Structure formats: structure tokens, C-alpha cells
Structure 1
Amino acid sequence: MGLLGTAFGLALLVALSYRGWTVLILAPLAALIAAAFAGEPLLANWTQVFMVAAAGFLAQFFPLFLLGAIFGKLMEDSGSVQAIARFMIATLSPRRALLAVVLAGAAVTYGGVSLFVAFFVLAPMAQALFRAADLPVRLMPPAIALGTSTFTMSAMPGTPAIQNAIPMPFFGTTAFAAPGLGLIASLIMLGFGMWWLNRVERLARDAGEGYQPVDPEASRDVAHDAHLRERGNMAGHFDPAELGRGEPSPVLMPTLPGSLAAAAPLCTVVLVNLLLSLWLLPRLDTSYLADARFGNTGLAAVGGVWAVLISLSVAIVLLLVLHRGRLSDLRASVDAGANAAVLPVLSVASLVGFGAVVASLPAFGLVREWVLGIGGGPLVSLAVSTNLLSALTGSASGGLTIALEALGPIFMDLARHTGLDPALMHRVAVIGAGTLDSLPHNGAVVSLLAVCGCTHRDSYRDIVMVGIVGALIALIVVILLGGLVGCF
């Protein structure tokens, strides 16, 4: 009965969240259903298991959500995101429109700009570029998705994406875990994705298909669509409802900042993160972390998160030094960014609570045995578990946190006994979470299509190829190389 209750609770969570119900209600409800079927005490599971796990996630990751959202909002309101995208587009020209959109999206998201901020900035620029290149608008969503939601989210070493941060406390790793394998995976995703996009562009031109203006009614106001907002908050880490708050200075904008000044904060995030992760933090005396008031922990458990927090903080300060005059209402921009972090982090924390309740039930032992019994070793088991849970929840971060909350300590024990490098498990887990999360019910997919004025029928097949197939190929290669030659 316990397994049946878990399956029913998960089905309810997936079905109603797809309809726009808030996961803040659905996750505890699904957890209580699973506990009821197992004959477990309901209130104890809610307050002592669900809430403790959710609070633990908040304690670890809310600062990352907060600073990431504020940084993304300041980058948008200062015109820096627009300047970087415009530079990429102008440099590559309409003849390479698809590559320009992909690289513009990759540049801003690898530097720490939130996914939804990138969507709303890139879409209008891509529209103009596609009009000049006479390309069908249906290719906009896969081009934006390839640049923003694939290799810069899960594979590039040092990416500040929350998905890349989630495994760090579990495995004692940093954002630069398995850098060589991450770069190989990134090249595979980018190369395969561009091959596919160039192929469909060629077929479209051969068929005489060109740019068609988007029907204004087809592009909904995603930022204020409550249905899409709830679904988007499970997949992204910036509440779309806050996109309209905080405005750039009307005096200095329409003049965008220079491309170097615009890119400097993004580069700072990556460089400071690298410096802290590989050199500064390991040389500090952090023995005080073993004190009970600091959780009896060590640098391995917190160092990766600290490095990202400091790098985002330094980048925000630099952004304010360079672009303060371009922000007409700094408080409104900061408030909007802070508010934009709250609903996404609570949504993911609720999913973590659900996973903790399920993992505590006696029947979960059967699931654990099935996952660990999958042929191919721990890396395959880890990849399958993160893939399946991300697919079910429609959220890479949600699926990843549920998987690691339930199975992370077991995988760490396996790593110790088999000699696997935790950094390799980190990279496999993140890439695995970023594959089947892009199924049709994914909130980011639905939001991106709406922003571009397209439908699933128009663009989803190409999103599957660049966002799922390419990532799966990269995942397989990483597992094979990691198994053969180890982590590098």
C-alpha cells in the first residue's frame, strides 16, 4: 500500500501542478497521501519530516536563489543583458541568426542571469533578427532553449545555475566538478544542437518557408498569467510576475552600456567562483565549522555554495559601480529581484519535503533496491533516478533535489566503496536532471513557447532534439568516459 500511495500522491502532484495549482499546497498534500496509504502518522510526517527537509533546503539554498534573482534583475534593468545579446547578434549578422541567438543566451545564463529574464530579453531581439534573416519564427524557441537551458545549466564547469549548486552539499564538490567531462558534454550539446538547427533551417529554406509575423493574440502576457506563473516557478528560479517591476533610467536608456562593461559582471561571477573554489577557500582555516553552532560540518559541505554566494555578491557590487546611473529606481529593482526568489525557492523546497516523506516510508526500500539494482553501476542508477524524477516533476532542480534527498547518502557510500570520484557523480546527476525535465509539461518550455508566440505543434519537436536528445547523448558519453578513465 505504501508504494501505491506514493504513486498516487506523485500522480496528483504532477497532474494538478500541470493545471497551474501551486506546489506549495500540492507537495504536502501528496506527502500526506503517501503517508496515509502507508499507515504512518500524518501530522508527524508533515511537521517533523516534510517541514524539516524543506527548511533544510531553504537554509542551504535560499541565499543562492536570492542573490541570483537580484543579480539577474539588475542585469536586466541596467540594460546589460540587452547589450550582450545585441553585441552577439550584431557580431554574427543575420546570416548566422540561429548561432547568434544560441550564443547570446549562453553568454547571459552562464554568467548567472536567470532563465526567465533571458527569455523575455532574447525573444524580441530574436524576432527582429529572424525577420532580417527571413527565418520561420518556430525556430526561435529551440534556439533560445539550446543557449539558455542545456549546457550552461548542467554541464559547463563553474556555471552558477542552481541545478549545478544542488549536489554540492551532498557530494562535497564545487561548481567546477569534473571540468573536463563538463566541457566535453557542453561541446556535444552545443554541436548536436547547432547541427539540428542548421538542418531544419536548410529544410525550411528549401521548402520556401520564411518569416511570418507572430499573431499578437498568440503571444500571451506570460509574466501575469497565473497558470503559467505557477508552472514556471517549478522550472525556473525567477518569478515572472516580478519582471515588470524596476525600470531602467529613461535618460540613459535607449543608449545601452558598452559590451565590455555589460559583460564584466558576468565574467566576474565565473572568475571569482573559480578563484575561490580552487585556491582561496581551501587555504583558509575553517576548523571552526566543526563547532556545534555551525552544524558540525566542514568546508567540503559548504565551500561550493560559499564560492557562488561570494562571486554573485562581488558581481552585484561591480554592476552597481559600473551601471548605477542606469537604474532609475534601485530599490524597486532590488525588491523585485528579492521577491522573485521567494516563490521558486519555496516551490522547490516543498518538492524536497515531499521527497523526504517518501524516502522515510518503509515501502521506499523497494524503490531504493530497484534503483540500485539497475545494471551499469552507480552512475547509471544515479542518471536514471534523476532523469525519471525530473521528468515526472517537470523540473530539473525539483527532480534532482528529490533524488539526492532520498538517495544521496547511499550514492556517497557507493562512491566510497567503489572508488568513484564524487565530482563525477555530481556532473552525472546534474546532466541527468537536465534531460527529460524538458517534457511538454515543463513550465519553462510552456513559458518560452508563449513568449515567442509559438505552440507545441510549431516548435516542440525541435526543442526535444536540442534539449533532450543532445543532453542524453552527452550524458551517455560522460558516463562511459567516467567509467573508463575516471573523473577529469
Structure 2
Amino acid sequence: MEIIQVIGIVIAIMLIIYGAMKGFSILIVAPIASIIVIVTNQMELFSSLIGKESSYMTGLTGFIINFFAVFLLGAILAQYIDKSGAAQSIAQKILEKTGTEKPFPVLVALLMITAILTYGGVSLFVVIFVLIPLAKPLFKQLNIAWNLVTIPIQVGLGTFTMTMLPATPSIQNVVPTAYLGTTLTAAPMLGIIGAVVAIAFGLWYMRFTLNKSLANGETFADFNVKDSNEELKKEIPSFIVSIIPIVLLIAVIIVGSALKVPNIIVIGLATAVIVSAILFKKYIPSQKTVINEGASGSIMPVFFTSSAVAFGVVITIAPGFKYISDFILNIPGNPLISLSVASALFGGITGSASGALGIVMEAFGQSYLAMGLSPDVIHRVSAVASSVITLMPHNGAVLTFLALTGLTHQNGFKYQFIAVTGANLLALIAVIIAAIIIY
């Protein structure tokens, strides 16, 4: 009977991956996969799905209750930064400083722009929408392979600004705080060490692939990319004005975290939104439209992530999960290794680092605390590990990126997977070693 229970969980996980890769919404796939777990583990159907204790619905609603404000305010802030032209202003200033005459400085500039915007709380999807129209004419002018654009942007939004840098307002940095009582600046030295390693690898890999591409004679025309129909805004705020909400957000988070202020991410995002509404008023035709679009845009991301977490809750209450849990917790070596394995595996399974963290914190958080590990270390290590193999073919950021760039999995996935996975894996190794030494 035990083997059937475990097989049921494995089949459900495979269904999640297959369904996502085939384009089915996780809102549909996750409940079906949960039913497979429930049936094969001989659990009571309705109490496991809609019960008031531990169930699919309590996992779904619990995540939304804890993090909806973050998704909502973050989406509204992203709309202000995008619609006002602030993101375009920041991008143009950095490109002005790095120059656009040589390929490598352009790649570095794209990495810097992406990092600044995502560290400032701008949604990764908004960043992609902003940067692709800026990058396309530059790549055409320099006549370099269009698929190289995947490296700087994905490294900038999927590595050090997502899980490593202290005070980053990403949801991946917020989720562990709800379970561990930590702050957004948890284990700052570990985060900085990981960020340095990730940036170093990203820069090396960009240089390596660029040189290889040039040596192979690859050009922009090889990818049959259609010209973008999007026009850049003509009237945009200055660089200084554009950067103020971002700097303010990070400053509020750092100070608030140091003072142990509860819900500082919500306070910081709300402050940044209010300041953006004031500073960007003349550049936005309708504030109501920006707020409404931001609010609407927050709904699907929070439900996608909470659905992954809800599926994880069903797995964790299934009798068969005990065997999986025992296997993970008994992995030889330092407990940080098994914590990393669990976070990375669920990140790959769900295609969502934040969803993986919700599952891992729910299932294993207290176990690792009971082992005597520092909450700050658990926070930082699990966050970094959750993104190691998240950039799978069914990941939402990958699908969006390919759609906007006109690339395919065949010509556009390899570089971004190696870049992000390599950066996150090397950073994780460095963080674990540093954690063992420091803590």
C-alpha cells in the first residue's frame, strides 16, 4: 500500500509538469493532481480538498491572505514605473553610460537595467516588456545573435535580485518571513556572497557565449525576428525622478527590517506607490487606469502561486509523503544540503520558486528549526535553492520571454537555462559553505 501512495504522489507531480509544459493553467491542473494524490493515498476527498483544517483550499486561501497585499501593491508599482516611462528613462541612461557601439557593454547594460528594476520591485514580466523593444534595434545594429539577449535579462531577474540581495522586495524573499519570523534582510552576508558569485558567473558566461557566437558567424538575421511595433515614449521623467521610488522602497525595507517593523514590505511598496503617483502624474494620462490595470494584473500571479502551494499542502498531508519527507530529511551531510535539495526539487516541479518556498516552509520549516538551524540561514539558503532549477521549459517567465522575443525553445532556451541555473547553483554552493563557516 505504501508504494501505491508514493507512486500516486509521483504521478501527480509528473502531471503538474506535463500540464504546464502543454500550456494548461495550473488553476486546472493543480486540483486534478491533488485528487490523484487523495485517491491513491485513500484520503477523504472533500475534507482534503475543501476542509477547514489542512486542505487544498486552506493552502490556497492561506497563501493569498498572507501575500495578496504584496502582489497587489507590487503590480501597481510596476504599472507606474512602466506607463510613466520611468523604466525607459532608467534604461536609456544606463545605455548612454555604457555605450551602444560594442556588443559586450550592451549585454552588461541590459543586465544592469534588469537588476535595478527588479531590485526596485518591478515585476519581471514588466521588465521583459520594457527591455525587448529597447534591445532589438541595438542587436540589429550590432548584427549579433538575437538569442544572446536571453542571458543578461534572465540573469538580472532570476538570480541575485530575486533571492540573494538583502532587502530585495521579491516574493521569493518575502515568503520565508511568514513562516520563520525573519526579515527581508535575513543573513545579509550570505546573500551578498551568493550575489557576487552569481554576477561573476553571469558576466563570464555572457562573454563566453558572445565570443563563441561571433566565432561561429551568427548574426541577427539568422533568427528571422520581426521588427517590434512598439514605440518608445517621447516624454519621460528624468533618470533622477525615475529612480526615486525604487531607492525609497529599498531604503524603507532596509531601515524597517533593522527596526523589526512588521509587514515592512507592504509599507515600503505602499510608500513607493504613493510617491510614484505624485512624481509621475504628468507622464500618465490616467492614474485610475494604471491602478486598475495593476490591480487586475495582480490576480493571476497570486492565484497561480497559491495553487502550487495548495497542491503542496495536499502532498504534505498525504500518508505517502512521510516516506518522501524521511528521505529528504535523512540525506547525509549538513542539514542545509537536504534543505537545498527539497527547495530545488519543488522549484523544478512547480516551475515557481515562490510556490516551492511555500511548500517547503509548510512541510519542513519547523523540522529544520528543531534541528537548531538559524531561521535567517534557513530563509536565505532555501530562497537561493528554490530558484536553482526553476527555469524549466514550463516556467512562466520562459514562456513569456520566448513569446515576446520571437525565439523558440530550440534556439532560445539553452542559454537562459545554463546562465540562470549555473549562476544559482554556484551561488547556492558558496552560500552553504559560507553558512557552515559563519553560523
Cα distance in 2, alignment partners of residues 341 and 216 from structure 1: 30
1:320 to 258, 271, 277: 277
**Runs of 5+ in structure 1 lacking a partner?**
222-243, 282-302
2:368 to 406, 411, 421: 411
- Structure-1 residue corresponding to 2:121: 112
1:44 matched to 2:47: yes
**Corresponding residue for residue 271 of structure 1:** 251
Matched, 1:83 2:89: yes
1:185 to 184, 190, 194: 194
| 1:328 alignment partner, SS class | coil
Check the 8 A contact 1:218/1:454 in 2, yes or no: no
Offset at 1:187? 1.1
Aligned-residue offset at 1:111:
0.2
Stretch moving more, 393-402 or 114-123: 393-402
Quick check: 2:78–2:294 contact (8 Å CA) kept in 1? Answer: yes
Are 1:171 and 2:180 counterparts?
A: yes
CA distance in 2, matches of 1:460, 1:33: 31
Aligned residue for 1:197?
206
Match of 2:320 in 1: 363
The two structures, once aligned, show a CA RMSD in angstroms of: 1.9
SS at match of 1:196: helix
Shift of 1:63: 0.5
1:261 corresponds to which residue?
241
Contact 1:394 1:443 in 2 (8 A): yes
- Aligned-pair CA distance for 1:218: 10
Aligned counterparts, 1:89-488, within 5 A: 89-94=95-100, 95=102, 96-212=105-221, 215=224, 253-279=233-259, 281=261, 303=262, 306-415=263-372, 420-486=373-439
TM superposition outliers: structure 1 runs of 4+ over 4 Å: 216-219
Aligned equivalents of 1:73 and 1:110: distance in 2? Answer: 15
Q: Give the Cα separation in 1 of the matches to 2:342 and 2:132.
A: 33
Quick check: 1:424–1:482 contact (8 Å CA) kept in 2?
A: yes
Deviation at 1:435, TM superposition (A): 1.1
The answer to whether the 8 Å contact 2:12/2:37 transfers is yes
The answer as to whether partners of 2:20 and 2:394 remain within 8 angstroms in 1 is no
Alpha-carbon distance, 1:216 to partner: 5.0
Give the Cα–Cα distance (whole angstroms) in 1 for the partners of residues 206 and 240 of structure 2.
Answer: 29
Q: Is residue 2:18 matched to residue 1:12?
A: no
> Is residue 2:30 matched to residue 1:27?
yes
How far 1:213 sits from its partner (Å)?
Answer: 7.5
The change in CA–CA distance for 1:464 and 1:24 in structure 2 (over 3 A counts) is closer
Q: Report the alpha carbon displacement of residue 280 of structure 1 after superposing the two structures with TM.
A: 6.3
Q: Deviations over 1:63-99 (max 9, x none)?
A: 1001011110111011111111111111101221110
TM-score, structure 1 normalization: 0.85
Contact 1:27 1:350 in 2 (8 A): yes
Measured in 2, the distance between the counterparts of 1:31 and 1:207 equals: 48
Task: Report if the CA contact (8 A) 1:119-1:448 is conserved.
Answer: yes
CA contact (8 A) 1:89 1:129 kept: no
State the aligned residue count.
430
CA–CA separation in structure 2 for the residues paired with 1:128 and 1:157: 34
Helix, strand or coil: the match of 2:221?
A: coil
Counterparts in 2 of 1:26 and 1:211: CA distance versus 1, 3 Å: closer
Aligned partner of residue 11 in structure 1, secondary structure: helix
1:160 CA drift (Å): 0.4
Kindly provide the amino acid, as one letter, of the partner of residue 456 in structure 1.
Answer: H
- Per-residue displacement from partner, 1:161-198 (whole Å, max 9, x unpaired)? 10111111111111111111111111111111111111
Q: Matched residues in 1 for 2:349 and 2:309: separation?
A: 14
Whole-Å separation in 2 of the counterparts to 1:104 and 1:389: 29
TM-score if structure 2 supplies the norm length? 0.94
Code of the aligned partner of 1:183? I
Q: 1:357-399 CA deviation, whole Å, 9 max, x = no partner?
A: 1111222111111000111222111100011111111111122
Change in Cα spacing, 1:404 to 1:123, as seen in structure 2 (3 Å) is same
Q: Which amino acid aligns with 1:86?
A: Q
* Separation of aligned partners in 2, 1:38 and 1:214: 49
8 Å CA contact 2:186–2:377 kept in 1: the answer is: yes
2: distance between equivalents of 1:379 and 1:343? 33
